Homo-oligomer: A and B are copies of this chain.
Amino acid sequence: MQSSEITLPADRYFGPDARQKEIARELYAQVQDLPLICPHGHVDPRMFADPNYSFGSPADLLIIPDHYVFRMLYSQGIALEQLGVPRVDGGATERDHRKIWQTFADNFYLFRGTPTGVWLAYELCVVFGITRQLTHETAQTIYDEIAAKLATPEFRPRALYERFNIEVLATTDAATDPLEAHRALRASDWRARIIPTFRPDGVVNLDAPNWRENLDALSRVSKISITNLQSFIAALENRRAYFKQLGATATDHAALTPYTNELSAHAADAIFQRALRGQASADDARAFTGFMLLEMARMSIEDGLVMQLHPGSLRNHNDSLFQRFGSDKGGDIPTATEYTRNLRPLLNRYGNDPRLTLILFTLDETTYARELAPLAGHYPAVKLGPPWWFHDSLNGMARFFDQVMETAGIYNTVGFNDDTRAFPSIPARHDVWRRASVNWLAGLVARGILSLREAEEMACALAYDLAKRAYRL
């Protein structure tokens, strides 16, 4: 019965008009086989450092670690314990992975029309060669099929990395991370380009959980005793150099808002001293993070690391879930975000310097046309990252193209980054981006706004060139 087969139509995601679809198909043919540039993501580098790393069971791979998947199941009343998500207190959760898989299959209809549904369809069909629809009835057979494949050498991370045609993959790593997996990878004879990204939130945001422990760790790894602002900054510069040595080309910064502000070294040190004594207030934390973003921009100008800013997520909105399961469990909710005023101090100081590349992301799409595109279309330092998180989807991309490109132009954007911790979803995500972007370009050709030749160049730029150039890869 045909309807029970998973099929991925060759023209999927392209708009319905026949002429536009034909152009989209032509453009897609030119980008579909380009290598994948993955300049920002959260894949664990240890899976590549160990050549024999195994993904475990189908539930280990596709359900238990993926908050995109289990948040949707949870929203319909399925407890995270039922899905085998580990508890902070080590309490009991479901251990029978076949049972977890069955729950997932029984509720697979929840993902209809969602990006997670689109990615899972690709993973099952293209990555694992599953040809039947995942349903209550087929659940266990499909489990068997995937489990069998996962047991083969072709489904080790390194093999998939090569099959996925990844050219470069950046991970995200705390400033205090010793980067052992990265060192091991460079020491190995496997010739993949897997690089770290410097993320100092844990020490820069004074209100970060465990800030003091993080600071001590920073002292240890940098071998610099941190007693004041000056030594703190020296330690950060030391770590940036270390990350760079291991291939890093970028840093990443998360904050609830993109607030930036000038502060004298004296005032900043006073806050830092209060923080060391455990006496920093919420205002102190805000002012200090705002100041440190300027410092980070200065360092980027000096050491050439591209600076990424990911603001606007109110993390761990759901207290009791956070207490039971920890962070990154689907309970992060976006908030309205202001860039025009917040970034002005940083941009006034460094925004005219072409040596700086500041890549802005947002969870608040109202800022696309109102703030971000005008900023990127003016300041030499500013570039815009692709649709992020909840907006990393077909409609999210269409809105991004619609609302950003007229004012910023595509050359002030940085192509795609998959931003995922789910390694097997990487080709699916790039496939969505490449199809969404050629579909957008095809619409412009069909409406006489671009020539086909221009669209071809832009398709390659969006699929490959822009990311490579912006991230200095």
A residues sitting closer than 8 Å to B (CB atoms) are 3, 8-9, 11-17, 19-20, 71-72, 74-77, 109-115, 118, 314, 317-321, 330-336, 338, 340-341, 344, 347-348, 351-352, 354, 363-366, 369-371, 373-380, 382, 390-391, 393-396, 399, 402-403, 405-412, 443-444, 446-454, 457-458
Contacts and interface: CB of A to CB of B under 8 A. Distances in A.
8 contacts: A12-B449, A75-B377, A76-B412, A113-B405, A118-B449, A314-B340, A330-B377, A335-B338
Nearest to A439: B447
A458 B8 CA distance: 20
Contact of A71 (B74, B320, B378, B403): B378
Contacts of A75: 376-380, 382, 408-409, 412
Contacts of A451: 3
A74 B409 CA distance: 13
A457 B108 CA distance: 14
Contacts of A405: 113-114
A370 B378 contact: no
Contact of A111 (B14, B380, B409): B409
B379 A318 contact: yes
Contact of A378 (B74, B320, B380, B393): B74
Nearest to A453: B3
Most chain B beta-carbon neighbours within 10 Å: one of A354, A375, A393, A449? A449
B13 A16 contact: no
B76 A443 contact: no
A342 to B, nearest CB: 11
Contacts of A112: 409-410, 450, 454, 458
Nearest to A23: B16
Chain copies in complex: 3
B331 A378 contact: yes
A318 B406 contact: no
A356 to B, nearest CB: 11
Given A340-B314, A451-B3, A321 B352 contact: yes
Contacts of A363: 370
B370 A365 contact: yes
A378 B330 contact: yes
Contacts of A366: 336, 364-366, 370
B377 A72 contact: yes
B370 A341 contact: no
A103 to B, nearest CB: 15
Contacts of A449: 12-13, 113, 118, 394
